[in-house]
């Protein structure tokens, strides 16, 4: 067989591989003037039953409600009461206080790692408030705001982070990977995008049973490059699953910018169009726009009009996790130059502008949140922290998988416990 012709042997030009590169690296001055963020109120709000092909423009623009004047604009205004807005602001303030205390605890060696959601609070709290409390959510690892909005106890969250003897998950999950059936909050997984087909499957089951509950999942934009995401989209479209697929585009997947997930070519919302799914692209730092988009998608799902993919266009203000230093791969000025601002500040300014809030009450709320988290943390630490040995008994690692433990696992459990007692004199080596 003849060898393939080399480019030099033909008149054809040599091929070149494109490797995406972010616009700004450490030392560069960030400038986001190339982004077309549009104006608040520019995007139309169609009927929830519209065919996806008729609203393709909403996958490329940006749904915005709050303007630079701190007022609401356009048809996407969800017309929330001041009390609801204050509750939303309070949840976001609590998440910030919680994140700060847990970040500090990790630096003190009380847990192995933690992940903040600074700058992204609106993408979880606002949609959670737009859903029914028993709608099933399938989150990623930066949606702690959903639990807080649904009233999950802070003490239980901290016990889980510390994997101590009061951890309801018995130390079986990594820190921040919560789970609560009572709050319709599916177990968080560190494997990317697995929650997408799980959410779609749950929604299909809900529809097959004639139930009224819908499902929603959250993934980062990098996870949309995973096969699980596209499998989920296919099933959602084919079976008209009552599900909301939320893509949080915070510009960075650890140290890789969104271009490696395809963000250079088109928007992440546009991925829904290829599957025949209604798609919305939203200002992820505008809590009112986030609420309005989630409410629209929820109404669409409940009306049996099909799934919706929502891209929340936001920015990860902090590192990927406590193990990450973003100064090593992105410009130090990006956070300050981000054109869509900070979600907490924007909602606070709106409430002040309409005469329903003030700086004094905001400062008092921040202090109250910080003090509550501090007191709850001290209470949780009585149950143990990383490395202190105050954990669930060793035998619990064999429980809760089977209704009745199979004989061979029962033998393994007895052997493991016997060897542990022989080595330490007790099943719990630290008392």
DSSP for 144-199, written as a single string? HHHHHHTT--HHHHHHHHHT-TT-TTTT-S-TT---BGGGTBPPP-SSTTTHHHHH
314 with 240, same domain? yes
pLDDT of amino acid 2: 61
CA–CA separation, 165 vs 383, rounded Å? Answer: 6
Task: Confirm whether 19 is domain-assigned.
Answer: no
Task: Confirm whether 116 is domain-assigned.
Answer: yes
Task: Confirm whether 40 is domain-assigned.
Answer: no
CA–CA separation, 49 vs 84, rounded Å? Answer: 27
Task: Confirm whether 36 is domain-assigned.
Answer: no
Helix (H, G, I), strand (E, B) or coil at 301: helix
224 with 358, same domain? yes
- Asked if residues 341 and 285 have their Cβ atoms less than 8 Å apart, the reply is yes
CB atoms within 10 A of CB 73: 16
Task: Confirm whether 131 is domain-assigned.
Answer: yes
Helix (H, G, I), strand (E, B) or coil at 336: helix
Task: Kindly provide the residue ranges of all beta strands, DSSP E only, lying in 106-214, ordered along the sequence.
Answer: 136-138
Residue ranges for the chain with pLDDT beneath 70: 1-9, 427-431
CB atoms within 10 A of CB 67: 16
278 with 413, same domain? no
236 with 182, same domain? yes
Structural domain for 364, as ranges: 52-321+337-381
307 with 419, same domain? no
Half-sphere exposure of 294 (CA within 13 A, CB side): 30
Do strands 243-249 and 308-313 pair parallel, antiparallel, or not at all (unpaired)? parallel
Measuring CA to CA, which residue among 271, 343, 338, 337 is closest to residue 309?
271
Measuring CA to CA, which residue among 229, 223, 210, 143 is closest to residue 183?
143
352 with 415, same domain? no
Do strands 256-257 and 252-253 pair parallel, antiparallel, or not at all (unpaired)? antiparallel
- Asked if residues 275 and 238 have their Cβ atoms less than 8 Å apart, the reply is no
CA–CA separation, 34 vs 11, rounded Å? Answer: 38
pLDDT of amino acid 387: 83
102 with 162, same domain? yes
pLDDT of amino acid 389: 76
Kindly report, residue by residue over 184-225, the tens digit of the pLDDT: 999 999 999 999 999 999 999 999 999 999 999 999 999 999
Task: Confirm whether 160 is domain-assigned.
Answer: yes
CA–CA separation, 242 vs 240, rounded Å? Answer: 6
CA–CA separation, 290 vs 40, rounded Å? Answer: 13
The token pair at 29 is: 């001055």
The token pair at 188 is: 């968080």
Kindly report, residue by residue over 311-344, the tens digit of the pLDDT: 999 999 999 999 999 999 999 999 999 999 999 9
294 with 316, same domain? yes
The token pair at 178 is: 């919560």
CA–CA separation, 286 vs 284, rounded Å? Answer: 5
234 with 367, same domain? yes
With tokens 């008149």, the residue in question is 11
417 with 349, same domain? no
223 with 351, same domain? yes
pLDDT of amino acid 9: 65
- Overall number of domains in the chain: 2
Task: Confirm whether 34 is domain-assigned.
Answer: no
Apex 226 CA angle, 280 and 184, nearest 5: 65
Task: Confirm whether 23 is domain-assigned.
Answer: no
pLDDT of amino acid 270: 97
pLDDT of amino acid 428: 58
Do strands 215-220 and 278-283 pair parallel, antiparallel, or not at all (unpaired)? unpaired
Helix (H, G, I), strand (E, B) or coil at 196: helix
pLDDT of amino acid 430: 45
pLDDT of amino acid 228: 98
pLDDT of amino acid 398: 86
285 with 371, same domain? yes
187 DSSP 8-state letter: P
């Amino acid at each position: 067989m003849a060898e393939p012709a080399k480019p030099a042997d033909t008149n054809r030009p040599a091929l070149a591989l494109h490797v995406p590169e972010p616009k700004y690296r450490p030392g560069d001055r960030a400038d986001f003037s190339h982004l077309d963020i549009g104006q608040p109120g520019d995007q139309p709000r169609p009927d929830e039953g519209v065919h996806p092909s008729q609203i393709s423009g909403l996958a490329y623009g940006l749904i915005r409600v709050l303007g630079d004047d701190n007022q609401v604009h356009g048809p996407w205004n969800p017309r929330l009461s001041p009390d609801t807005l204050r509750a939303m602001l309070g949840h976001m303030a609590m998440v910030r206080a919680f994140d700060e205390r847990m970040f500090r605890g990790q630096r003190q060696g009380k847990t192995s790692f933690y992940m903040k959601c600074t700058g992204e609070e609106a993408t979880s709290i606002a949609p959670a408030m737009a859903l029914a409390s028993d709608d099933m959510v399938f989150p990623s690892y930066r949606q702690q705001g959903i639990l807080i909005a649904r009233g999950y106890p802070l003490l239980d969250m901290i016990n889980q982070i510390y994997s101590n003897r009061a951890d309801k998950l018995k130390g079986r999950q990594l820190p921040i990977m919560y789970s609560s059936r009572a709050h319709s909050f599916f177990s968080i997984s560190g494997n990317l995008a697995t929650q997408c087909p799980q959410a779609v499957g749950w929604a299909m089951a809900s529809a097959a049973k004639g139930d009224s509950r819908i499902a929603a999942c959250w993934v980062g934009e990098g996870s949309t490059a995973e096969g699980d995401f596209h499998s989920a989209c296919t099933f959602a479209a084919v079976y008209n699953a009552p599900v909301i697929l939320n893509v949080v585009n915070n510009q960075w997947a650890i140290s890789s910018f969104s271009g490696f997930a395809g963000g250079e070519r088109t928007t992440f919302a546009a991925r829904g169009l290829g599957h025949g799914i209604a798609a919305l692209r939203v200002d992820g730092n505008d809590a009112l726009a986030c609420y309005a988009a989630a409410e629209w998608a929820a109404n669409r799902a409940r009306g049996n009009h099909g799934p919706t993919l929502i891209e929340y266009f936001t920015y990860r203000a902090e590192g990927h996790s406590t193990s990450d230093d973003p100064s090593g791969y992105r410009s130090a000025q990006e956070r300050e130059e981000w054109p869509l601002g900070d979600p907490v500040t924007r909602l606070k300014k709106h409430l002040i502008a309409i005469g329903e809030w003030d700086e004094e009450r905001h400062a008092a709320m921040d202090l109250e949140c910080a003090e509550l988290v501090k007191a709850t943390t001290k209470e949780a630490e009585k149950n143990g922290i990383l490395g202190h040995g105050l954990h669930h008994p060793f035998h619990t690692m064999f429980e809760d998988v089977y209704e009745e433990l199979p004989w061979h696992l029962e033998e393994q459990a007895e052997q493991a416990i016997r060897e542990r007692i022989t080595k330490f004199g007790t099943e719990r080596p630290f008392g």
